[in-house]
């Protein structure tokens, strides 16, 4: 029994030992250290010389602590960590990218440790760049005029034309202007900033906008300006403020004017002009700028007999000033205007080229004033009168001139044009032109002493000349006449035309012997327009390219001491006073003829030195001279432009040839 019990206990011990061994094996577990890396290590572009830091995470998803001993990193990247990461734990690690040259950098970061499984690498990349922060300011900051106390706004654009962010810390502006911005403008971006101009005085404001920023290049300033003006005013002024038309006949008209002026500093709008019965206005509405004015014509046109008084009213947006113009006028019954003409207008014989005068008397025997607008006369006769002949026997004397141009009979009627109600407004007129009794019709032309010949061809005189001046000139240099006619012109300002010199031209002038006024005035031809007494040609008042010759400039300074010079073709001529002739003949003497046959005189007349203002558009006038006691149209040479001739020939021009 004891032995059995002992065996049982032994078996029990064996069983317990077996169970204990089984349980120990069942509870034994394998240790793991599983590594995983996460994070974005793409640094993008980083300016060289600067650093950017990013993070990545080391995860331990194993069952035992992970021991990290260090990293392996590509060039330009840095970071470190060494230590233990518990099971199911993690560790954040800083990685820094510091490029020192321009270029792309990339690679693999390897985490060194005792991991049993997982991935211990992660990609890293970055680019080193040379970044630029460039500023540019754009905008029209000329505010023009702004009323004091009011404001105007314009936009300023700040542009970042660089490759890096631009940091703006503020904007400074001159007095009178405001606006601000601070912040970051991305590369290639821009920022619009509102700038306000609010003047406090009526004066000019100007200066420079200055943008404070971290730019490395570009322009951070821009001009700004504006003008403060007074508050707008619209002030109307009416001058005169009274129009008195007096008395006129019914169904007639009378006109007077007044002026509307804006004496304010802003536009004045005239909305309408109202007039009383019997009156009409030429102006009804419009806009007048500051200090501008408009003349208004008021017509008094009564259709009934009576008194017409009242006010013209100007309706406008004026702030101040008057708006009324008083008008007064009276209409009376229609009067009579009876015209009568008297006088002996039979001129008889008058030599061609000469003139005779007689007097015509215009009489008004009506009860109202007669208005004469002009006279109509037959060919050969001339007169001028326009005006009023008073009522009840008023008279007007008119001088009629007979100037025959041909040896023929002239006749017809003089007609007086006017507002007569009855009577005769025509009267007969007659006269006969006769042949000149001058023994030598060429006598006056023989005074052209420089001519090689003077002959008659029908109604023309033919003058031939070699064109060379009989006085000394620097332009005789290097010619066959140098020894006797050359002179060195040392006057200050004289500029001798290089290469030009005097030569024989052999010119033929064919001009009318009995010059007459042209019905249609002829413009001047190129260059030659007449002949001087010494046979030298007169030229027009123009230099090359039809430019008017002005004193002491251009071609003028090449005129020699006697007022002439040759062309590049060596044709000597005068544009201005021929001083040799006015010195030897006299400043009031006959100096030559233009191609239309009318004579040319010097600048002196009756002791007075003439200017262009004393002469007509053709540079002449008509009256008796020492050479033409019966009177003739003639030109005068003056010291001021156009010197010899004005807007063309007064008469019918002849010709010249070479």
| pLDDT at residue 181 tops 50 | yes
The Cα 199–Cα 226 span in angstroms is 8
Domain ends where: 434, 455, 473?
Answer: 434
Which of the four pLDDT bands, split at 50, 70 and 90, describes residue 463?
Answer: very high
The verdict on 143 and 117 lying in the same domain is no
Tally the domains of the chain. Answer: 5
Those residues whose C-beta lies under 8 Å from the C-beta of residue 503, and which sit 6 or more positions away, are: 468, 479, 566, 570, 571, 572
Domain span at residue 618? 445-657
The verdict on 97 and 151 lying in the same domain is no
Q: What is the CATH number of the domain that holds 107?
A: 2.60.40.10
**Share of the chain residues as helix, strand and coil, in percent rounded to the nearest 5:** 10, 50, 45
DSSP 129-158: E----EEEEE---EEEEEETT--EEEEEEE
Neighbours of 82 (CB within 10 A): 11
- Please choose, from the candidates 76, 114, 70, 116, the residue with its C-alpha nearest in 3D space to the C-alpha of residue 93: 70
The verdict on 510 and 579 lying in the same domain is yes
Angle, CA 437 vertex, CA 433 and CA 442 arms, to 5°:
110
The verdict on 152 and 289 lying in the same domain is no
| pLDDT at residue 506 tops 50 | yes
The verdict on 457 and 515 lying in the same domain is yes
The verdict on 121 and 139 lying in the same domain is no
pLDDT digits (tens, 9 = 90+) for 227-247: 998 888 899 999 999 999 999
Residue 113 belongs to some domain of the structure: yes
Which of the four pLDDT bands, split at 50, 70 and 90, describes residue 283?
Answer: very high
The verdict on 501 and 425 lying in the same domain is no
Higher-scoring residue by pLDDT: 5, 583: 583
Residue 61 belongs to some domain of the structure: yes
The Cα 578–Cα 572 span in angstroms is 12
For residue 146, give Cα distances in angstroms to 177, 178, 642.
Answer: 12, 15, 50
The reported pLDDT for the residue numbered 76 is 95
Query: Strand 217-218 to strand 134-138: parallel, antiparallel, or no bridges (unpaired)?
Result: parallel
The verdict on 225 and 248 lying in the same domain is no
The reported pLDDT for the residue numbered 108 is 97
Residue 26 belongs to some domain of the structure: no
The verdict on 503 and 610 lying in the same domain is yes
C-alpha 128, offset from chain centre:
57
| pLDDT at residue 303 tops 60 | yes
The verdict on 633 and 501 lying in the same domain is yes
The Cα 622–Cα 99 span in angstroms is 101
Residue 570 belongs to some domain of the structure: yes
pLDDT digits (tens, 9 = 90+) for 354-375: 999 999 999 999 988 999 999 9
Sign of CA dihedral 528, 647, 523, 631: negative
Those residues whose C-beta lies under 8 Å from the C-beta of residue 448, and which sit 6 or more positions away, are: 454, 463, 465, 531, 532, 533, 534, 535, 592, 593
For residue 441, give Cα distances in angstroms to 446, 451, 455, 597.
Answer: 10, 17, 10, 13
- Please choose, from the candidates 158, 162, 161, 160, the residue with its C-alpha nearest in 3D space to the C-alpha of residue 171: 158
The Cα 609–Cα 614 span in angstroms is 10
For residues 430 and 343, the answer to whether their CB atoms sit within 8 Å is: no
Task: Please name the residue that has the structure tokens 């995860």.
Answer: 59
The Cα 605–Cα 608 span in angstroms is 5
Mean pLDDT over each residue of the chain, to the nearest integer: 92
| pLDDT at residue 22 tops 50 | no
Domain ends where: 103, 129, 155?
Answer: 129
Across the range 5-12, mean pLDDT stands at 56
The Cα 110–Cα 73 span in angstroms is 7
Residue 315 belongs to some domain of the structure: yes
Which of the four pLDDT bands, split at 50, 70 and 90, describes residue 12?
Answer: low
Give the DSSP H or E segment for 7.
Answer: helix 2-27
Domain ends where: 377, 412, 434?
Answer: 434
Residue 510 belongs to some domain of the structure: yes
Residue 14 belongs to some domain of the structure: no
Across the range 298-317, mean pLDDT stands at 95
Residue 89 belongs to some domain of the structure: yes
pLDDT digits (tens, 9 = 90+) for 574-587: 999 999 999 999 99
The Cα 386–Cα 361 span in angstroms is 13
Model confidence, pTM = 0.38
Beta bridge partners of 427: 414
The verdict on 491 and 610 lying in the same domain is yes
The reported pLDDT for the residue numbered 484 is 93
For residue 141, give Cα distances in angstroms to 144, 189, 474.
Answer: 9, 21, 63
From the number of C-beta atoms within 10 Å of its C-beta (0-12, 13-18, 19+), residue 591 rates as buried
| pLDDT at residue 616 tops 50 | yes
| pLDDT at residue 342 tops 60 | yes
The verdict on 123 and 140 lying in the same domain is no
The reported pLDDT for the residue numbered 527 is 85
The reported pLDDT for the residue numbered 163 is 84
From the number of C-beta atoms within 10 Å of its C-beta (0-12, 13-18, 19+), residue 24 rates as exposed
The Cα 368–Cα 390 span in angstroms is 7
């Amino acid at each position: 029994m004891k032995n059995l019990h002992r065996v049982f206990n032994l078996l029990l011990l064996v069983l317990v030992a077996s169970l204990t061994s089984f349980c120990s094996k069942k509870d034994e577990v394998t240790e793991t250290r599983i590594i995983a890396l996460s994070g974005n290590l793409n640094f993008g572009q980083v300016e060289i010389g600067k650093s950017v830091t990013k993070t990545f995470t080391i995860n331990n998803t194993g069952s035992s602590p992970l021991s990290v001993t260090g990293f392996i990193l590509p060039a330009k990247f840095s970071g470190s960590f060494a230590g233990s990461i518990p099971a199911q734990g993690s560790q954040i690690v800083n990685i820094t990218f510091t490029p020192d040259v321009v270029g792309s950098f990339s690679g693999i970061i390897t985490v060194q440790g005792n991991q049993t499984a997982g991935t211990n690498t992660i990609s890293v990349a970055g680019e080193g760049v040379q970044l630029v922060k460039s500023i540019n300011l754009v905008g029209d900051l000329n505010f023009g005029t702004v009323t004091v106390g009011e404001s105007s706004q314009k936009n300023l654009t700040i542009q970042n034309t660089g490759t890096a962010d631009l940091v703006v810390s503020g904007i400074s502006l001159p007095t009178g202007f405001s606006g601000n911005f601070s912040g970051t403008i991305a590369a290639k971006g821009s920022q619009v900033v509102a700038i306000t101009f609010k003047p406090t005085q009526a004066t000019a404001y100007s200066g420079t906008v200055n943008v404070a920023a971290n730019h490395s290049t570009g322009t951070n300033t821009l001009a700004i300006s504006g003008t403060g003006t007074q508050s707008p005013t619209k002030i109307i002024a009416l001058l005169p403020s009274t129009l008195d038309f007096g008395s006129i006949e019914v169904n007639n008209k009378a006109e007077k004017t007044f002026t509307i002026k804006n004496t304010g500093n802003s536009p004045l709008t005239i909305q309408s002009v109202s007039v009383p019965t019997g009156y009409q206005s030429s102006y009804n509405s419009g806009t007048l700028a500051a200090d501008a004015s408009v003349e208004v014509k008021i017509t008094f046109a009564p259709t009934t007999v009576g008194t017409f008084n009242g006010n013209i009213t100007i309706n406008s947006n004026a702030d101040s000033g008057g708006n009324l113009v008083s008008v007064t006028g009276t209409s009376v019954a229609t009067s009579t205007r009876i015209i009568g003409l008297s006088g002996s207008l039979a001129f008889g014989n008058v030599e061609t080229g000469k003139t005779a005068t007689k007097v015509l008397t215009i009489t008004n025997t009506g009860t109202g004033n007669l208005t004469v607008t002009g006279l109509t006369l037959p060919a050969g006769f001339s007169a001028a009168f326009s005006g009023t002949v008073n009522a009840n026997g008023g008279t007007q004397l008119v001088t009629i001139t007979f100037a025959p141009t041909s040896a023929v009979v002239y006749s017809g009627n003089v007609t007086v044009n006017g507002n007569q109600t009855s009577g005769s407004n025509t009267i007969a007129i007659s006269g006969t032109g006769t042949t000149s009794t001058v023994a030598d019709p060429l006598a006056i032309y023989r005074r052209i002493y420089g001519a090689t010949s003077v002959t008659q061809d029908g109604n023309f005189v033919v003058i031939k000349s070699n064109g060379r001046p009989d006085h000394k000139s620097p332009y005789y240099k290097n010619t066959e006449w140098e020894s006797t006619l050359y002179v060195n012109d040392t006057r200050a300002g004289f500029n001798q035309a290089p290469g030009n010199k005097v030569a024989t031209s052999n010119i033929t002038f064919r001009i009318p012997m009995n010059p007459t006024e042209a019905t249609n005035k002829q413009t001047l031809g190129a260059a030659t327009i007449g002949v001087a007494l010494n046979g030298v040609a007169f030229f027009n008042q123009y230099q090359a390219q039809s430019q008017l010759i002005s004193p002491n400039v251009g071609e003028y300074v090449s005129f020699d001491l006697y007022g002439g010079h040759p062309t590049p073709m060596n044709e000597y001529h005068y544009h201005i006073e021929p001083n040799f002739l006015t010195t030897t003949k006299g400043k009031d003497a006959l100096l030559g003829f233009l191609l239309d046959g009318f004579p040319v005189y010097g600048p002196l007349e009756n002791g007075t030195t003439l200017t262009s203002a004393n002469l007509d558009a053709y540079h002449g006038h008509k009256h008796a001279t020492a050479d033409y006691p019966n009177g003739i149209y003639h030109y005068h040479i003056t010291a001021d432009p156009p010197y010899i001739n004005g807007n063309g020939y007064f008469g019918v021009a002849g010709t010249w040839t070479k």
